[in-house]
Structure 1
Amino acid sequence: MKNLTKAFAVIALTTASFATFAATEVSMAPQGAQSMGEVSASTNSGDLGTLQGKLAAKAAQEGASSYRIVSAGGENHLYGTAEIYK
């Protein structure tokens, strides 16, 4: 039971810290923002939320404040690209 409690605590802390540093997803280029290029990611989970999370993490890693998903595809193996903005 202690291990289960610890696992939930780790997941909660990881999610909270990830949300703090993640770039914001936008539906169009933000007014006055400068494009910094593109990032790409893929996942074998087949879950679009996982792909979005990986793109957000890569955008934040590059120093972007926001990102816009440009393309996504696949079935069991998803892939996608996003334009990043500062």
Structure 2
Amino acid sequence: MKNLTKAFAVIALSTASFATFAATEVSMAPAGEQSIGMVSASTHGSDITTLQNKLAAKAAQEGASSYRIVSAGGENHMYGTAELYK
């Protein structure tokens, strides 16, 4: 059951998008853009949206035009990484 919850969390992170950030979340590497690095974030609690917002903010801070969440997990402490593109 825990693995199923984590799988749903990864799917939700990789498909949702938020227009409030300068960087756009993508589900796969965008054509014509190059990887410019990785960012990571963590949050206390199990709120996946907070983790996604932190990764998006870090991507925007780094000047990325888009980002792709490549890992996410945790139960009472969420953590994740995203690849940045420009």
- State the TM-score, normalized to the length of structure 1: 0.75
- Aligned partner of 1:56 in structure 2 is 56
Amino acid at match of 1:30: P
State whether structure 2 residue 51 is matched by structure 1 residue 69.
Answer: no
Amino acid at match of 2:58: K
Question: Which 4+ stretches in 1 moved above 6 angstroms?
Answer: none
- Aligned partner of 1:31 in structure 2 is 31
**Structure 2: stretches of 5+ with no match in the other structure:** 1-18
Deviation at 1:46, TM superposition (A): 1.1
Q: State the alpha-carbon separation in 2 of the partners of residues 70 and 77 from structure 1.
A: 17
- Aligned partner of 2:80 in structure 1 is 80
- CA offsets per residue over residues 5-52 of structure 1, 9 Å max, x none? xxxxxxxxxxxxx91x43110000000101001000000031111100
Length, aligned pairs only: 68
**Superposed CA RMSD:** 1.3
